[in-house]
Amino acid sequence: MPDGLVSDQSTLPDQSTLKDAASLRRAGLIDDVDAIAAVGEVYAIAIPPALRALIVDPNGPIGRQFVPHADELVTAAWERPDPIGDEALSPVKGIVRRYPDRALLKPLLACPVYCRFCFRREQVGPDGGLLSLSDLRAAVDWLAARPEIREVILTGGEPLMLSARRLGELLGMLGEIPHLEMIRLHTRMPVAAPERVEAGIVAALAGSRVPLWVVAHVNHADEISQDAIAAFDRLRLAGVPLLSQSVLLRGVNDSVEALDGLFRALLRARVKPYYLHQLDAAPGTARFHVPIAEGRALLRALRGRISGTALPTYVLDIPGGAGKVPLGPENLDGNAGVIDPWGGVHRLAGPDRAG
């Protein structure tokens, strides 16, 4: 492994990114500086210029996702610092293994933007959480020693905050593992900072020896700006296939019209809707919660209204790390519980618990 892989700087947010209560106030996005400063002491803040340009109303579907709110400091009884059990399923630093045939690799924990509903909000932040050289080597060696691992999901944080050189080197290391069949890379970058999906990054992704899919996180049609479409086009024209994942969020996309608009806009951008996630119960995120029954009704209403190619799978990451399941009738036991891929029944806490 090249010694420089983790020694130079990541592509961190530039100075025009809004990073604190004072800059948010100057931008006209908040009124109560003291309350938001208190939030900033606990959870990271960053809104890059591309997203700032899309915020017409701080309480609208874009602003609500990224502008901090005082309610983030209120933790509901069912919320957890690690809602899907990453820590318990991490055999070595940077790796999470929840399934027999795949594993997550988190090379860093910095992001260009910090979503106010993030399920890793207790871990991510501007210090980056960058894996050291020895930690990264240990993580890749762990993957290489397990031939049953067929897929690696690069996530974080934001893996596209790595420089193009370092991203290419990391993909090269993974490409030397003979049993890997697929890499997925989860990213916010095409909508958060589309200008950073530049030629070097695109070349690194397109040059992966292992088949690679980019999964873009997009929650509302208004996030798909012309610059975002251009970033998607750069990836697509280089041969990188594109999927999307979204989170069902109160006040953002919790209507048939909003989801219809989102999924159609993704298809127009040649991005296939892949997952619609039920919100993970991270601390201070209750204001975004949409009950599962309501989410299922929304997806039911979309069936037949839009093309089947536009419909993602509605999924829940079972709290505690038991795995991801589709929220269809076959995965509900009738008592506000969900059935995991191995037949176990899990009762839900909070708004979706049994009465």
Which residues have a catalytic role annotated?
98-99, 102, 111, 115, 118, 120, 280, 317, 324
d(CA 254, CA 249): 6
Q: Pull the structure tokens for residue 118.
A: 């993030």
Report H helices in 107-238. 133-144, 164-175, 189-192, 199-206, 226-237
d(CA 355, CA 267): 39
d(CA 183, CA 212): 5
d(CA 161, CA 112): 7
Q: Pull the structure tokens for residue 244.
A: 């999307």
- Backbone φ and ψ for 177, nearest 5 degrees, come out as -85, 110
d(CA 316, CA 79): 15
d(CA 344, CA 336): 14
d(CA 204, CA 328): 38
